[in-house]
Chains A and B, each alone.
Chain A
Amino acid sequence: MSRQKFENLGVKLPLFPTTSVGSFPKPDYLAKARAEFNKKQISEKDLHDLERKATAFWIEEQEKLGIDVLVDGEMYRGDMVAYFAERLPGFSISGLVRSYGNRYYHKPVLSGEVEWRAPLTVEWWKYAQSLTKKPVKGMLTGGYTIMDWSFNEFYPDRRTAALALAKVVRQEVEALIVAGCKIVQIDEPALSVRPEELPIAIEAMELTTQGQNAYFITHACYGEFDKIYPGMLDLAVDNFDLEMSNSDLDLLELFRRHPFTKDISFGVVDVHSHRTDSAEVVRARIEQALTILPKEGVWVDPDCGLKTRTVAEAIEKLRACVTAAKSFRNE
């Protein structure tokens, strides 16, 4: 682990710090309120109040579970790209496009020079942090993924668009740091979909994090990591948050062939099943990780965001992470 970096930042963490990837399920009252807001049946303030209530609920739940690095749970976000695109000048929102099956969404369109004018997540981070003494992660989406998940009608090519967005994300990082945030997660789930563009993703992350005084995590999932490993280790972050259990820890084989040189947030529970693996199964996954990775660099969390699970399922999955991590600390 970048222990020195944490010391400099004034953050104290135990061995095997526990965290989560970012999103939590919205309580029923909030899901209902969002639908009502879309139909203009409740005001923005009504919705905002319920988003704060749900955020407070999740901070309290994480505290009760004993999680070390908390998240706000993204109660105020729908989609991890659209949230930013809807608030940044330079974006417009397209007509409906299909995600899969019968699910459709309004995909963002880069239709002008993208600009950062004001913080997008800082107020939420400040609110969440005010509810706990434990560190709360700042949660952002990276420039490469925002580019890849948007239509581009303005920039001449994908690299130019990704770099422009990376600069915007950097400004949000700066605002979070000024507000007191010490740990920032910049998600890049599109990282592996075009392996030939890994240099663009690396360049974009460099633009976002270089010279910034924080501990940086990036999350990527469900991709062909064999095509971008070990090159992806050049991404300018301290910690890779990776979905490990869903792929039966296949990535460990890659790490065996070429050492993993960063800290890792090791996904130990699948987020797509209703069932939570037993404590023994979760422990076994961490044991396997420790055959290759130094314990000082291993964090423990679920594979991915938990927003598709029920509240009860999400809590159980988080509990499994915490129980397993604590059992290793005591050894």
Chain B
Amino acid sequence: MNAPGLHLSSAGSYPRIGDSPELQVLRRTIAALDKGERTTADLLEVQNEVTRHVIAEQVRAGLDLITDGLIRWYDPISHLAGKLDNIQIKGLVRFFDTNTYFRQPVFDGAPVKRGHLVAGEYSFARNALGHLPTPRGKAGKLGIKPVLTGPYTLGKFSLSENPGNGSSKTFAALEARVQAYAEILATEFEALSQAGAELIQVDEPAAIKYPNDWAIFESSLAPLVNARDKIIKSGRKLELALYVYFHDCAPLYEKLLALPVDVVGLDFTYSPKLLDTVASAGSQKALGLGLIDGRNTNLEDPAQVARQVERMLPKIKDQRAFLGPSSGLEYLPRHRAFAKLEILSKVRAQLEGRERR
């Protein structure tokens, strides 16, 4: 099968440390910082170094579209919310069914953005990618995308402790928190576009877990879509990729495709029906095909994944899809995460091999 529209893509995070001592430098540095033995400048230097390694690792695995691995993120919620004024970061809360935890933001008033959320990190990563030699056959095909946790997921996992707090606006209502995040993230779109981003991944795992809030989720996309459209009108290219995971999204497939986004990223590990749904209903949008389980160490058979891609790709508009893990890979040991990414290249080889036969 000739599949020029099939891109091999990361889905977000990557393990920050590995098992060997040299791969644990970030862990050691954070521990030393906590004891006052290292400085934040030391930490930044190590984060930069680990980010460079993680980018190189993704390129070595044969990916086309990579991320910075979210190496600097404490968790998917507080990394963004914690940079806003009037938001306090409080105790640990379990993150979906991952048995990992995030620190919960609590609104103290209207959140205010002082600087960029991830645009600086994105610029660093883009620069780091630019310094790597281009692998054979990848000229003009290698890209890097920024990742943001979406406004609905951020708002759903935040609280408001002082609903009054002397200000006219309260954030006790989910809708108010979500909308506040949406407006802030929209301004980050402009910063990311200025930094060179042509596709921004927005993660909204909570949207499919709590479908009763769909109207709130849907309206939170409006500021992001407006920001994207404004950027496009100014002559730049920008796509909005919505990624959902950690729950069965098959029942919401049609609703997801109806959203005003350019790409919809799907987690196939929670639903045996999703593959059939996509293969039969098709898609008028590009899809993220999360066929590689980002939560389990078991390695997929590339031939089987290739067959799955073959069933779906012809039904997707322009046969444009992003094959990748079902979620970020930070839930796996480092060497296993790399092995998962290597499968993607093997799948592509399978597809091309069949075509030659």
Q: Chain A: residues with CB nearer than 8 A to chain B? A: 94-102, 104, 107, 109, 148-149, 151-153, 190, 193-194, 196, 222-223, 272
| Contacts A151-B298, A152-B296; A94 near B74 (Cβ below 8 A) | no
What separation, in Å, do the CA atoms of A104 and B333 have in the docked complex? 10
Main secondary structure on B side of the interface with A: loop
Q: Is the CB of A94 within 8 A of B75?
A: no
| Contacts A99-B101, A100-B92; A94 near B333 (Cβ below 8 A) | yes
B214 interface contact, C-beta 8 A: no
Which residue of chain B lies nearest to A157 when distances are taken between CB atoms in the complex?
A: B272
**Seed contacts A95-B19, A95-B336, A97-B15; 19 additional CB < 8 Å A-B pairs:** A96-B334, A97-B332, A97-B333, A98-B330, A100-B92, A100-B102, A101-B75, A102-B30, A107-B333, A109-B297, A148-B97, A151-B297, A151-B298, A152-B296, A190-B97, A193-B94, A193-B97, A222-B93, A223-B94
Cβ distance A303 to chain B, nearest Cβ, rounded Å: 13
**Contacts of B30 on A, CB cut-off 8 Å?**
101-102
**Contacts of B335 on A, CB cut-off 8 Å?**
95
Chain B positions 268-313 with a Cβ under 8 Å from a chain A Cβ? 296-298
Cβ distance A218 to chain B, nearest Cβ, rounded Å: 18
What separation, in Å, do the CA atoms of A98 and B75 have in the docked complex? 11
Ranked 10 nearest A-B pairs via Cβ = A95-B333, A193-B97, A100-B101, A151-B297, A153-B298, A102-B30, A95-B19, A94-B333, A194-B97, A151-B296
Q: Is the CB of B19 within 8 A of A97?
A: no
What separation, in Å, do the CA atoms of A95 and B101 have in the docked complex? 19
Chain B positions 199-235 with a Cβ under 8 Å from a chain A Cβ? none
| Contacts A95-B334, A96-B18, A193-B94; A153 near B101 (Cβ below 8 A) | no
What separation, in Å, do the CA atoms of A107 and B100 have in the docked complex? 12
| Contacts A193-B96, A193-B97; A100 near B336 (Cβ below 8 A) | no
B91 interface contact, C-beta 8 A: yes
B99 interface contact, C-beta 8 A: yes
* 12 A/B residue pairs, CB under 8 Å, sorted by A: A94-B333, A95-B333, A96-B17, A97-B332, A99-B100, A100-B92, A101-B101, A104-B27, A148-B97, A190-B97, A190-B99, A193-B94
B173 interface contact, C-beta 8 A: no
Q: Is the CB of A149 within 8 A of B99?
A: yes
**Contacts of B112 on A, CB cut-off 8 Å?**
none
Q: Within the complex, which residue of B97, B298, B331 is in contact with A97, where a contact is CB–CB below 8 Å?
A: B331
**Contacts of B96 on A, CB cut-off 8 Å?**
193
**Contacts of B298 on A, CB cut-off 8 Å?**
151-153
Q: Within the complex, which residue of A153, A190, A222 is in contact with B297, where a contact is CB–CB below 8 Å?
A: A153
B340 interface contact, C-beta 8 A: no
- Interface flags for B241-277 (1: CB within 8 Å of A; 0: not) read 0000000100000000000000000000000000000
**Contacts of B334 on A, CB cut-off 8 Å?**
95-96
Which residue of chain A lies nearest to B92 when distances are taken between CB atoms in the complex?
A: A100
**Contacts of B27 on A, CB cut-off 8 Å?**
102, 104
**Contacts of B331 on A, CB cut-off 8 Å?**
97-98
**Contacts of B330 on A, CB cut-off 8 Å?**
97-98
**Contacts of A151 on B, CB cut-off 8 Å?**
296-298
**Contacts of B94 on A, CB cut-off 8 Å?**
193, 222-223
- Interface flags for B336-353 (1: CB within 8 Å of A; 0: not) read 100000000000000000
Which residue of chain A lies nearest to B75 when distances are taken between CB atoms in the complex?
A: A100
B16 interface contact, C-beta 8 A: yes
Which residue of chain A lies nearest to B298 when distances are taken between CB atoms in the complex?
A: A153
What separation, in Å, do the CA atoms of A98 and B328 have in the docked complex? 13
What separation, in Å, do the CA atoms of A99 and B34 have in the docked complex? 18
Cβ distance B304 to chain A, nearest Cβ, rounded Å: 14
What separation, in Å, do the CA atoms of A155 and B17 have in the docked complex? 28
**Contacts of B16 on A, CB cut-off 8 Å?**
98
**Contacts of B44 on A, CB cut-off 8 Å?**
none
Chain B positions 96-122 with a Cβ under 8 Å from a chain A Cβ? 96-97, 99-102
What separation, in Å, do the CA atoms of A236 and B93 have in the docked complex? 28
B31 interface contact, C-beta 8 A: yes
**Contacts of A153 on B, CB cut-off 8 Å?**
296-298
Cβ distance B294 to chain A, nearest Cβ, rounded Å: 12
What separation, in Å, do the CA atoms of A68 and B298 have in the docked complex? 45
A95, A101, A109, A151, most chain B CB atoms within 10 A: A95
Cβ distance A50 to chain B, nearest Cβ, rounded Å: 25
**Contacts of A190 on B, CB cut-off 8 Å?**
97, 99
What separation, in Å, do the CA atoms of A107 and B297 have in the docked complex? 10
What separation, in Å, do the CA atoms of A177 and B39 have in the docked complex? 55
Q: Is the CB of B15 within 8 A of A101?
A: no
**Contacts of A193 on B, CB cut-off 8 Å?**
94, 96-97, 99
What separation, in Å, do the CA atoms of A104 and B75 have in the docked complex? 14
What separation, in Å, do the CA atoms of A33 and B101 have in the docked complex? 28
**Contacts of A196 on B, CB cut-off 8 Å?**
248
Chain B positions 1-30 with a Cβ under 8 Å from a chain A Cβ? 15-19, 24, 27, 30
Which residue of chain A lies nearest to B28 when distances are taken between CB atoms in the complex?
A: A102
What separation, in Å, do the CA atoms of A193 and B296 have in the docked complex? 17
Cβ distance B126 to chain A, nearest Cβ, rounded Å: 25
Chain B positions 133-155 with a Cβ under 8 Å from a chain A Cβ? none
Cβ distance A71 to chain B, nearest Cβ, rounded Å: 23
What separation, in Å, do the CA atoms of A272 and B96 have in the docked complex? 20
**Contacts of A96 on B, CB cut-off 8 Å?**
17-19, 24, 333-334
What separation, in Å, do the CA atoms of A96 and B336 have in the docked complex? 10
What separation, in Å, do the CA atoms of A101 and B79 have in the docked complex? 11
What separation, in Å, do the CA atoms of A223 and B99 have in the docked complex? 11
Q: Is the CB of B97 within 8 A of A98?
A: no
Which residue of chain B lies nearest to A221 when distances are taken between CB atoms in the complex?
A: B94
**Contacts of B101 on A, CB cut-off 8 Å?**
99-101
Which residue of chain A lies nearest to B29 when distances are taken between CB atoms in the complex?
A: A102
Which residue of chain B lies nearest to A152 when distances are taken between CB atoms in the complex?
A: B296
What separation, in Å, do the CA atoms of A272 and B90 have in the docked complex? 12
What separation, in Å, do the CA atoms of A277 and B330 have in the docked complex? 37
